[in-house]
Amino acid sequence: MIFATTNDRSTDLTWIDLDTNQRGTVPRDPDTRARINYVRERGGIKGVLIPHGIASDRHSARWLLTKDPERRMPGAFCVREISTGAAKQCFVLPVVEDLGAVIELDDGTVVIASWPGPRYPVWRIDPTSGAVIDLGVVHGPPLATARWLAWTESSNTAATLFVRPLDDERAAVRAIDLGRADIDECRLIPARPEAAVCRMYASKGQRGRGLYFVDLAAGTKRAIGVATGPNMAVSPDGHWLAYAVANASPDDENEPAQRVIMTPLAGGEARQITQRAEIGQQVIAWIP
């Protein structure tokens, strides 16, 4: 399994084979117009990592969605396959100025949502056929797996994760109380259909963001650790969570300002997988 990381001060992507501890770097791809920053082969490893989307570009690991250059009306988008550059279907969504989510599912379809909120119309599209299915409206930035559609609502006094079946907008919505905190981000875990990971803003006076494993079936959460970096990444098999933490003495020149930790979601001993990660880190990712 391959772990990859980069930051906004670096021109390279660093990859680590967690099974062999083999390490290397991959140069930044110069073609930033397509927002494909890294597409390289090294040591038998092929990975695609896209740190950012800008303007109207939105992407998943496989698909890139852009506004249709041939149509000036709102809601016209096209799908392109990242690894090959091949153009797929174009389609029109009603009353959509831009997309705020592109979530690729295991069956090759993609869940997309309009942007900005506070109401988020959600659709499921087939990039090959161009078929579009209306999934209804949610009240927060959507999360999705092949089974679930979810969203979060939070304030300084309460945080809630809402979950319902993906393809049934009339089904009962389950509300999971995450406590008195403000949610920074939650992610569903495709490899573990009844699980999610949430990053919560720390209480006043505390440093970093609290990380929690959420059991969707039981409606409970369990503390994992405290992250100081802006990103977290769940391994493709759903067993590990990688995130950045700060040293106790970040001003010590002999110690790295941050390091990346990998911890088992089921509980157990964490593993340090990088010795140094500079402040300003932008991306933590796994390459299957």
Residue 36 has pLDDT above 60, yes or no: no
pLDDT band for position 42 (50/70/90)?
very low
Average pLDDT over residues 86-96: 78
pLDDT tens digits, 193-239? 889 999 887 665 566 788 999 998 888 899 888 887 667 888 888 99
Question: How does the average pLDDT of the chain come out, rounded?
Answer: 73
pLDDT tens digits, 149-194? 999 988 777 889 999 999 888 888 999 998 877 888 898 998 898 8
| Stated pTM of the model | 0.73
Integer Cα distance of 190 and 196 in angstroms = 9
Integer Cα distance of 56 and 52 in angstroms = 12
Average pLDDT over residues 85-102: 76
Sequential DSSP letters for 146-159 = SSEEEEEEE-SS-E
Q: Looking at per-residue confidence, does 31 or 225 come out higher?
A: 225
Residue-level pLDDT at 195: 93
Integer Cα distance of 40 and 82 in angstroms = 13
Return the closest-CA partner of residue 236 out of 265, 200, 267. Answer: 265
Q: What is the dihedral of CA 216, 221, 224, 226, to 10 degrees?
A: 120
Domains of the chain: 151-287 (2.130.10.10)
